[in-house]
C-alpha cells in the first residue's frame, strides 16, 4: 500500500514539476536565455494568488492576478533586462548573472512585502481522503494531474498546429532563418516568455495550498526545472514533461529504499546519470531531428 | 565626475546609516538569521535584544551608549563563522549573542580562541552545554524539553508509540538521541525516525511513511519554515496522530497555522505576571513597543543583552577593562542575576535552568497544561 501511496504522491509532485519545467524549457529552448528568474515568476504568481484569494476576492480573480503578474514579469524582464544585455554584449553568462540577480531581488522584495515566514492558502481541497484502505489522495492531487494533462496537451497543440507555435520551434532551430521569413525573433521570444511564464501559474497556485510558500521557494523550483530540462533533453518539451514526472516519481518512490534525507539526492543522481550516459536527455536527439 | 561623487556620497551615507554600532561606546555582537528561510526568528530575537539596549541606555547603566552590531547568520554555520570572524577581528566585540544549535557550535571555537563571550538564547541542542567557558546559554536545552514532553505523552495521554521526523543537523540528531533514551524509560517506544535535509520542502512522502508506522504521536524536530511545512503536510496527507514538538515552534506564524491546533509543544516557563521590577518593565514596554505579548525567545535575548549591561556596569564600577575574560570572571563571581522571570543563577557549565512547561496549542495560543522543574 505504501508503494501505491508513494506513486500517487510522486505523480502529483511530478505533474507540478512538469508544468514548471516545461515553462523554463520552452523559454530556454526557444531563446537560449538561461532564465534563472523562472523561479521568481513562480514566487510572484504564488504570492499574488495568495494575496488576492486571501483578501476574499475569490478563486477566479486570484488566478487572473497570478497569471497577469507572472506574464508581465516575464515580459518586462525580457524587455528591460535580457534584450538590452543581448543587444550590447549577448554573453550567455551575463544574462545568467542578471537573471540570477533578479531572482534574488524578487525574493527579498516578496519577503519585505509578505514577510519571510511561512504562508499557505487554506482550503479543504488540500485535505486528503482515503480512496482505498491506506491510500490517501487530496482533491488537489487530481486537479494537479488534470491541469498538467490539459495544459501540456494545449501546449502541444499550440506548438504543432499554430503559426506562432511553429515560429517558436523555428526560433529554437535557427533565428536567422526566422528573420529570413520576415518574422521578428524578438516578438517570438516575447511569446515564449508569455507562454512559459503562464505555465508556472497552476503549479504556483497548487503549491500555495499544498506545500505552502516562503520567499525562497523559487530556488527549489528552478533547480527542478533545470534538472528536468537537462534530463528531458534541452529543447524537447515532451522530454521535459516526461522528465518532470520521472523526477517527481523517483523522489517519492525513493522513500521505499532510502532514507527521506536522500530523496533530493535522487533527483541529482538521475541528472548526473543522464549527463554521463545520455547527455542529449530522454528525447533530446529525437527533438533535434 | 559629479555623478561619481554623488554615487560615492550616497554610498558613504548608506554605510554611515547602517553602522550605528560604530558610534557606541559599548558594542556587542549578534549572529541572527536575518535572511533566508529562518529569518522569521531573527525578527523575534531582535525584538528582545533591541528592547534591552533601549532600557540599558535609558537607565545610563553604562558609561556610554550601548549598541548591537548585527551580522546575518542565515541560521547556517558557514555564514555565521564569517560574521563571527568580522565581529571578533573587525568590530572587536567582547560579547556576542548567538542562536541556533549548528551556528552556536560553529562559532564557539572562535569565541573560545579569542576569549569572546557567546551567549545563546535560541538554540536548544543539548551539547551546547559543553562548548567551553566562553559559551553561555540563557535558555534551557532540548534534553530537558524532551524529558518533560515524553512522560506527558506516554503517561498522561497514553501515546505509547511515537514516530520522529527530524532535521538532519546537530539539533535534530540531539533530539533523536534524547528520544531514543527517554522513550523506553517512560514505557513507550520510538517506532521509527525519518531524517529530512534542512532544505527539504516536500513531505507528503514522509507523511505516508509516518502513517504506515501506525504511531500514536509524531514528534517533529525541525525549525524555521520547514517545521510548519511538515505539520501542514502531515495533516493534509491524512496523519491524524497527535503532533508534538519543542520550543522552536513557539513563533507567531507557527501558532497561527490552522494545522497546529491541538499540538503539544514544550518550552521554558516564564511567569510574565511576576511583580518584580525587571519582569514588569519588560512586559509593559514590550507590549507598548511591539503591540503583542512577548514569547520566551524575546525574554531570552532581552536577558542575554541585559546580562551584558549588568556585568559591564559592575566591571566599570571596579575600574576593570571590559574584556571577555573579565566578563567571564565577573559572571562567576556573581551569585545571581535579576532578569526577566526572576532571580536566576548559572550552573557551572554556563547554562541557566528554567522549569519546562508542556503546552497545547488552542486557538492560536499555547496554553500550559503542566510544568516540570529540574532544579
Mean pLDDT of A215-219: 87
At B42-70, the pLDDT tens digits run 989 999 999 999 999 999 999 999 999 99
CB contact under 8 A, A126 and B194: no
Rg of chain A taking only CA atoms, in angstroms: 19
Q: What is the tally of structural domains in chain A?
A: 1
As beta bridge partners, residue B357 has B267, B371
CB contact under 8 A, B195 and A261: yes
Closest CB from B43, B197, B206 relative to A264: B197
Task: Pick the residue of B195, B196, B208, B297 with the most A CBs within 10 A to test the interface with A by mutation.
Answer: B208
Q: What whole-number distance in Å separates Cα of residue B89 and Cα of residue B87? A: 6
Element at A160 (helix H, strand E): helix A139-161
In a domain, A125, yes or no: no
Q: Tell me if B294 sits within 8 A of B281, measured CB to CB.
A: no
pTM here?
0.80
At B105-137, the pLDDT tens digits run 999 999 999 999 999 998 888 889 889 999 999
CB atoms within 10 A of CB B279: 20
Task: Pick the residue of B167, B225, B252, B256 with the most A CBs within 10 A to test the interface with A by mutation.
Answer: B225
Mean pLDDT of chain A: 89
* Chain A nearest-CA residue for B235: A127
Task: Pick the residue of B173, B203, B237 with the most A CBs within 10 A to test the interface with A by mutation.
Answer: B237
ipTM score of the complex? 0.83
CB contact under 8 A, B40 and A136: no
Q: Is B200 on the interface with A (CB under 8 A)?
A: yes
Q: Tell me if A145 sits within 8 A of A15, measured CB to CB.
A: yes
pLDDT confidence of residue B94: 97
pLDDT confidence of residue B261: 95
Give B-chain residues touching A108 at CB under 8 angstroms: 35
Q: Is B64 on the interface with A (CB under 8 A)?
A: no
**Nearest CA of chain B to the CA of A73: how many Å?**
23
All domains of chain B in start order, with CATH: 2-139+274-344 (3.40.50.2300), 143-268+356-372 (3.40.50.2300)
pLDDT confidence of residue B7: 52
CB contact under 8 A, A116 and B39: yes
Is the pLDDT assigned to residue B16 strictly greater than 70? no
Q: Residues B313-344, buried b or exposed e (16+ Cβ, 10 A)?
A: bbbbeeeeebebebbbebbeeeeebebbbeeb
Give B-chain residues touching A136 at CB under 8 angstroms: 208, 211, 237-238
Q: A169 in helix, strand or coil?
A: helix
Closest CB from A126, A210, A252 relative to B205: A252
Give B-chain residues touching A145 at CB under 8 angstroms: none
Best mean pLDDT range from B16-20, B150-154, B334-338? B150-154
Domain span at A276: 2-120+134-288
Closest CB from B168, B229, B237 relative to A136: B237
- Determine phi and psi for A28, rounding to 5 degrees: -65, -45
Is the pLDDT assigned to residue B21 strictly greater than 80? no
CATH of the domain at A167: 1.10.3470
- Determine phi and psi for B117, rounding to 5 degrees: -75, 130
At A158-183, the pLDDT tens digits run 998 999 888 888 887 787 888 888 88
Mean pLDDT of B177-205: 92
CB atoms within 10 A of CB B267: 26
**Nearest CA of chain A to the CA of B118: how many Å?**
26
Interface of B with A in 104-143 (CB under 8 A): none
Q: How far is CA B55 from the centre of its chain?
A: 21
Give B-chain residues touching A120 at CB under 8 angstroms: 232, 257
Q: Tell me if A44 sits within 8 A of A110, measured CB to CB.
A: yes
Mean pLDDT of B189-206: 91
Give B-chain residues touching A255 at CB under 8 angstroms: 205-206, 208-209
Q: Which strands, in side-by-side order, build the sheet including B189-196?
A: B189-196, B161-167, B217-221, B242-245, B264-268, B356-362, B365-372
Is the pLDDT assigned to residue B18 strictly greater than 60? no
Q: How far is CA B214 from CA A28, B43, B160, B211, B241, in A?
A: 46, 38, 11, 6, 9
In a domain, A128, yes or no: no
* Chain A nearest-CA residue for B258: A122
- Could you tell me where the beta strands, DSSP code E, fall in chain A? 129-132, 135-137
Amino acid at each position: 500500500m505504501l508503494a501505491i501511496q508513494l506513486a500517487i504522491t510522486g505523480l502529483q509532485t511530478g505533474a507540478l514539476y512538469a508544468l514548471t519545467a516545461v515553462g523554463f524549457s520552452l523559454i530556454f529552448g526557444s531563446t537560449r536565455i538561461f532564465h534563472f528568474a523562472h523561479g521568481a515568476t513562480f514566487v510572484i504568481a504564488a504570492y499574488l494568488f495568495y494575496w488576492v484569494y486571501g483578501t476574499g476576492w475569490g478563486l477566479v480573480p486570484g488566478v487572473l492576478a497570478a497569471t497577469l503578474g507572472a506574464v508581465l514579469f516575464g515580459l518586462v524582464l525580457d524587455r528591460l533586462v535580457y534584450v538590452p544585455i543581448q543587444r550590447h554584449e549577448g554573453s550567455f553568462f551575463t544574462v545568467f548573472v542578471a537573471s540570477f540577480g533578479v531572482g534574488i531581488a524578487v525574493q527579498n522584495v516578496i519577503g519585505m512585502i509578505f514577510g519571510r515566514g511561512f504562508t499557505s492558502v487554506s482550503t479543504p481541497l488540500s485535505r486528503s481522503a482515503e480512496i482505498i484502505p491506506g491510500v490517501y489522495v487530496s482533491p488537489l492531487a487530481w486537479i494537479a494531474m488534470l491541469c498538467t494533462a490539459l495544459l501540456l496537451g494545449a501546449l502541444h497543440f499550440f506548438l504543432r498546429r499554430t503559426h506562432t507555435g511553429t515560429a517558436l520551434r523555428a526560433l529554437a532551430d535557427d533565428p536567422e532563418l526566422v528573420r529570413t521569413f520576415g518574422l521578428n525573433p524578438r516578438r517570438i521570444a516575447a511569446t515564449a516568455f508569455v507562454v512559459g511564464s503562464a505555465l508556472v501559474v497552476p503549479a504556483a497556485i497548487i503549491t500555495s495550498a499544498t506545500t505552502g510558500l516562503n520567499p525562497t521557494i523559487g530556488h527549489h523550483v528552478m533547480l527542478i526545472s533545470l534538472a528536468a530540462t537537462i534530463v528531458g533533453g534541452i529543447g524537447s518539451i515532451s522530454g521535459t514533461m516526461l522528465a518532470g514526472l520521472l523526477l517527481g516519481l523517483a523522489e517519492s518512490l525513493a522513500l521505499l529504499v532510502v532514507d527521506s534525507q536522500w530523496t533530493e539526492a535522487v533527483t541529482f543522481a538521475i541528472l548526473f546519470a543522464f549527463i554521463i550516459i545520455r547527455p542529449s536527455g530522454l528525447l533530446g536527439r529525437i527533438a533535434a531531428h | 565626475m559629479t555623478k561619481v561623487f554623488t554615487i560615492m556620497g550616497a554610498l558613504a551615507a548608506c554605510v554611515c546609516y547602517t553602522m550605528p554600532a560604530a558610534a557606541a561606546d559599548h558594542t556587542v555582537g549578534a549572529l541572527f538569521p536575518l535572511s533566508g528561510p529562518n529569518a522569521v526568528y531573527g525578527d523575534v530575537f531582535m525584538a528582545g535584544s533591541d528592547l534591552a539596549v533601549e532600557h540599558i541606555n535609558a537607565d545610563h547603566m553604562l558609561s556610554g551608549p550601548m549598541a548591537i552590531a548585527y551580522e546575518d547568520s542565515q541560521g547556517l554555520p558557514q555564514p555565521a563563522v564569517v560574521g563571527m570572524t568580522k565581529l571578533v577581528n573587525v568590530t572587536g566585540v567582547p560579547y556576542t549573542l548567538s542562536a541556533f544549535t549548528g551556528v552556536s557550535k560553529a562559532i564557539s571555537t572562535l569565541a573560545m580562541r579569542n576569549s569572546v563571550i557567546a551567549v545563546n538564547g535560541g538554540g536548544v541542542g543539548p551539547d551546547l552545554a559543553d562548548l567551553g567557558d566562553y559559551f553561555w546559554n540563557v535558555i534551557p536545552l532540548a534534553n530537558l524539553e524532551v524529558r518533560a514532553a515524553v512522560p506527558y505523552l506516554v503517561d498522561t495521554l497514553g501515546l505509547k508509540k511515537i514516530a520522529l521526523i527530524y532535521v538532519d543537523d546537530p539539533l535534530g540528531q540531539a533530539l533523536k538521541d534524547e528520544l531514543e533514551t527517554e522513550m523506553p524509560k517512560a514505557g513507550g517506544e520510538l517506532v521509527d525516525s525519518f531524517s529530512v535535509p534542512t532544505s527539504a520542502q516536500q513531505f507528503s512522502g514522509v507523511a505516508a511513511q509516518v502513517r504506515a508506522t501506525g504511531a500514536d504521536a509524531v514528534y517533529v524536530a525541525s525549525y524555521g519554515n520547514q517545521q510548519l511545512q511538515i505539520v501542514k503536510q502531515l495533516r493534509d496527507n491524512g496523519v491524524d496522530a497527535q503532533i508534538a514538538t519543542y520550543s522552536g515552534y513557539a513563533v507567531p506564524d507557527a501558532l497561527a497555522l490552522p494545522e497546529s491546533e491541538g499540538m503539544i509543544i514544550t518550552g521554558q516557563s516564564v511567569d510574565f505576571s511576576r511583580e518584580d521590577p525587571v519582569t514588569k518593565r519588560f512586559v509593559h514596554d514590550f507590549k507598548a513597543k511591539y503591540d503583542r505579548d512577548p514569547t520566551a525567545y524575546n525574554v531570552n535575548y532581552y536577558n542575554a543583552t541585559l546580562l551584558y549591561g549588568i556585568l559591564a556596569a559592575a566591571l566599570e564600577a571596579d575600574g576593570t577593562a571590559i574584556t571577555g575574560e573579565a566578563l567571564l570572571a565577573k559572571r562567576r563571581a556573581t551569585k545571581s542575576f535579576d532578569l526577566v522571570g526572576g532571580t536566576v543563577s548559572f550552573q557551572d557549565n554556563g547554562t541557566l535552568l528554567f522549569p519546562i512547561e508542556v503546552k497545547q496549542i488552542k486557538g492560536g495560543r499555547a496554553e500550559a497544561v503542566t510544568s516540570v522543574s529540574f532544579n
